[in-house]
Structure 1
Amino acid sequence: MQELIEVIRERSYRRGHFKLASGAESEFYFNLKPTMMNPKGGYLCAKALLEKIRSVDGIDYVGGLEMGAVPVIAALAAQSYADGRPVATFFVRKQAKDHGTGEVIEGLASGESLEGKRVIIIDDVATTGGSIVKAAEAARKAGAIVDYALVILDREEGGTENLAQAGMKLLSAVKKSDFI
């Protein structure tokens, strides 16, 4: 895990004055896209998340809200196949497309469904968990059973508690306290 922490520190951790998606302000910021889009960083993120996913029995799919979850979901799907233990994935659009199938849940083939499937919702960073809750609501509306959320980085700022209120346990590869 130390290798992933170092890549995040180098590529994705910034100090300054930032407004977060939650509306809160912070003196530090984790933009994990530069880590996830880097070959080594993407690989390390995928491996770390797969380790956590495999620690939970009976998971059928992993998915998350566009845009934060998409790069790492794609990487972990490919890595899981390379490992010989494929993990099925999907992503949730923030809003349905106004053309084509008009789906909110993307990545499922015709005839596939989340109905009755155990799902972990993934995101890159958890602050309050708001994006995770949105993705979980969409998956649950499609019939999924969502008991877990998984992030690369937990900012340790209320996400665990908020997700517990939404019926999910938060798992993470690394935490803010690994950096601060």
Structure 2
Amino acid sequence: MSEVAEQLIAVIKERSYRRGKFKLASGAESEFYFNLKPTMMSPKGAYLSAKALLEKIREVDGIDYVGGLEMGAVPVIASLAALSFEDGKPVNTFFVRKQPKDHGTQDLVEGLAIGESLSGKHVIIIDDVATTGGSIVKAAEAARKAGAIVDYALVILDREEGGTENLAAAGMKLLSALKKSDFL
């Protein structure tokens, strides 16, 4: 395990990991809960989350953009974009709204400049946590509708509860910086 991953686990344990009885976004109940927003919103957690994801992104050739569904992906993709620029290897990012705004451009895919398009671009869909992968599939569908080629999903934490299989069925390979088993 990398030093970045070890440090990130420590921050998640301090800020984002809880034991108890919790209802997940998937509707399932769990004894483990990972709310990674407190991690992603802390200076050290934001840095480590972005760094861990960048390490995984660099392992995949030919990626043009990374993006994900609001709200889970937005904090980390913003940090990731800044860190990638500082590293001298910028990664383009976007996010997908859960539903279009009722004003302005009413775009579902946000963050692209005028004339910029995902058409024909290789994209990794990012989320903070994967349980079943439902949020990732929703973001991938929007990116594909915009013309993107989506073969990969990437999360900070894979809860190891069906996301890999569900995303494979949707044509994506799930990559993760960490797994639930890293916390047990």
Distance 1:135 1:27 in 2: 27
Picking from 132, 137, 140, the partner of 2:141 is 137
TM-score (norm 2): 0.97
Residues paired across the two proteins, number:
180
Tell me the alpha carbon deviations over residues 81-101 of structure 1, each in whole angstroms, 9 at most, x when there is no partner. Answer: 011110000000000111000
Is 1:146–2:164 an aligned residue pair? no
Matched residue, 2:50: 46
Structure 2 match to 1:58: 62
The partner residue of 1:28 within 32, 35, 52 is 32
The 3-state SS of whatever aligns with 1:6 is helix
Q: What's the counterpart of residue 104 of structure 2?
A: 100
Counterpart code for 1:122: I
Q: Secondary structure at the match of 2:11?
A: helix
Task: Show structure 2 runs of 5+ residues with no match.
Answer: none
Counterparts of 1:115 and 1:171 in 2: how far apart (Å)?
Answer: 23
Structure 1 position 71, deviation (Å): 0.1
Q: Which runs of 5+ in 1 are unaligned?
A: none
Counterpart Cα distance in 2 of 1:130 and 1:106: 20
Q: Distance in 1 between matches of 2:65 and 2:183?
A: 30
In 2, the alpha carbon distance for the partners of 1:148 and 1:91 equals: 16
In 1, Cα distance between equivalents of 2:20 and 2:51: 30
